[in-house]
Structure 1
Amino acid sequence: MTAERPVPTTSAKPRERPGAEPVQHRNRSRRLRREYLLFALFAFPNLALIAVFAYWPVIGNAYLSLTRWDMIAPSPTFVGFENYIHLLTDPSFLRVLRITVIWVVVVVGVSLIGGLALALLFTTAARGRSAASALAFSPHILSGAAVAAVWLFLFDPNYGLSRALFSLFGLDSPHWTTSGQWALPALIIVSIWKGVGFVAIVYLSALQSLPGDVLEAAKLDGANRWQVFRYVKLPLLSPTTLFLLVTQVIAAFQSFDLIAMMTGGGPAGATTTLSWFIYNEGFRQFKAGSAAAGAMIMFVLLMVVTVVQMRFVEKKVHYR
């Protein structure tokens, strides 16, 4: 009697059907095409609006800056870089740039420092904090024309509140809006008063969202209030500071309504910033090419400032 031999078992893999791999590849490609088509369907309207209302005007303005046009002639005359050469070699335009830099640096710097101080005050005040923050923020939502009208009355040297304040010290009120020495400081005061509340509210929101455990750990380590603020709160507030720095610089460059209502760029150009210069050249002097060149210079300045802020200032930002 012979023993039966064990039948060898083989774990053979099931054969794949020929053509299965190409079918899966086609299905994956079809699915990706549908996803791309869906993305394009939702993104195209937004991209089209941005292209029409943002990029195309910049391109059109860039071409207009290379021409001479009084807005009456049928078509502008191409002059190349003549407008840029004229502006950058004109002492009056260089004065406009200097006034713009002073305006932006002082308004943004004081607004950030004052807004942070107000936010810290609001965090310590227990009673009336909501009312105080609302009062501080309210000037930001008012129109520039209304704010300018109120401050024109306050600055009036004959009937305004400034006259009463200066008279307490036996002094005469300066002619704020008609004096070349005081016009720019007057505008800076009003601009800071109007915008510091917004900065304070943003900082207040950021302060209230700081991690409490980190602050408690710093206090347990023996840090006093100044050390907690300097070495803990300020680094944690750096993303908020970067956001405010970028937005406030852009807003200061574009400031127009207060200047239009209070001084009209005067007296003798003492308050003519770049935004008012562009308006004056284009819609008062009817020099569309020169105004467009000024707008392109502002555009380049804003781009440079923003890139510098994002590349160098952002390195010191601590994201938690």
Structure 2
Amino acid sequence: MEPLLQIKELTAGFAADHGIVKAIDRISLAISKGQTLCLVGESGSGKSVTSLAIMRLLEFAGGRILEGSVRLSGDELTNQSQRQMIRIRGNRMAMIFQEPMSALNPVFTVGEQIAESIRLHQRKRKSEAKQMAVEMLRLVGIPDPETRAEQYPHELSGGMCQRVVIAIALACKPELLIADEPTTALDVTVQAQLLDLLQQLQRELGMTMLLITHDMGVAARMADQIAVMYAGAVVEIGTAEALFDHPAHPYTVGLMQSVPSMEGERLSELRTIRGHVPSLHALPAGCRFHPRCPLAMPRCSAEAPSMLAVGPQQQAACWLYDEDAHSSNRPDQESRAYAMQDNSRVLDSGNGEGGIR
């Protein structure tokens, strides 16, 4: 069955004084209907740029798609005009932005903002759109929705504003929902409620979801598949179960080991990934992670790895898994085990109560 969303070799960037800087480079992802793919990685890894490129909003942020393909239900989006994209955004695909207060217009009531999307895409009368807006507020769990629809964003809590943003995104029942850090800056109880809400609405509406998060606990709870990004590229992708049971790329292992956990009554030792994320203006040759990688080989600094199969449901862009490589250039079996350590504690911590803290 053809994926609902299929991205192939997507490259996008921004103009700089010395030329084009590629913020994402040859991204390839696919999400089946009704599934959730989580995009994880450090800040600056290219997660939000990927979402903006899919929505064709990158042009409004000073960037542009350089090459590649984005298909929604088989329809190519990269060659659509912005006029055509207006009919697609909000109707067939929608996005929940990271900061709810900045995503809402402070001079319109929340009911008016939901109704605007309904009137634009579904051609409803004003009175009908207003009633549908109230129903959307009820759907996302806001109490007394008739009263709340007449209020302004500053009169609502952060959690309620995020529910309003979700209501706007889902007002036209899109096929694809992109959620960019939807629980950022919310307390842990509200985070859990919103994650429950997203899962419930996904089941009821049959949506496909691309969820962007830096919280591995959220990814463990929500994802069917996980893609790990580093310095603008996907370095590992696989099912949530495969990736958490046996993270393959050394960067993924580092991410999981940097998450503290409880050991008895004390927090475990905090482990860090040595070095710094490279600047997009001066990316290292070969594998982008090799200057920080404890398993780097000579080949890693000379040649960028392609996606290699680690298992039936997992791939990693790492030369450790190139079975054709000469054995003398590869770490011994004991060293390679570093990249396959059991990180089940991360999965256990993703209990929906704020993820991992």
**TM-score higher than 0.5:** no
Q: Report which of the two structures shows the higher radius of gyration computed on alpha carbons.
A: 1
Q: Which has the higher contact order (CA 8 A, sep 6+)?
A: 1
TM-score of the two chains, using structure 1 as the length reference:
0.29
Greater strand content = 2
Greater helix content = 1
